[in-house]
Copies of this chain bind each other. A is one copy, B any other.
Amino acid sequence: MQQHYPSSTREVTATLKAHGISPTRQRVELGRLILSRPQHLTADALYDMARARNAPVSRATVYNTLRLFSGQGLLNEVVIDANAKYFDSNLQPHQHLFNTTTGELTDLDSNKLLVTGIPKLPRNAHIEGIDIVIRYSDAAEH
């Protein structure tokens, strides 16, 4: 199932409504910034982005909106390390490639990676997800 990334005001408004979120000006602005393509943003990066586009929004609203979007299934939270909490607009199952030298985070298609040997879990256990992060550095180790 392909994912759609809404970019226009109208599209974002419709997406928010479809997820039970009332489309205020700030939410639509933030939605256009983060939902329009697969990407990973921190709260701070989104805040800066909004200001840069002359669509200033308070930090509180950025945090509240990200929390709301995640709760309503519009974003996933990705924790790459203790100091980097990203919100990911790509909702397809996928994995991450993290360049520890540059901090660059890229997506890997789910169907390219295969994990085998997952142990049996208790009968009532329900797997919610498998998070995979491949970390690599650019610098050669000497």
List residues of chain A with CB under 8 Å of any chain B CB: 77, 79-82, 85, 97, 99-100, 108, 112-119, 121-122, 124-141
A133 to chain B, nearest CB (A): 4
A45 to chain B, nearest CB (A): 15
Contact call A114/B116, Cβ cutoff below 8 A: yes
Report B-chain residues with C-beta under 8 Å of the C-beta of A118.
113, 134
When all copies of this chain in the complex are counted, the total is 2
The prevalent SS among residues of A at the interface is: strand
A73 to chain B, nearest CB (A): 14
Contact call A130/B135, Cβ cutoff below 8 A: yes
Contact call A126/B112, Cβ cutoff below 8 A: no
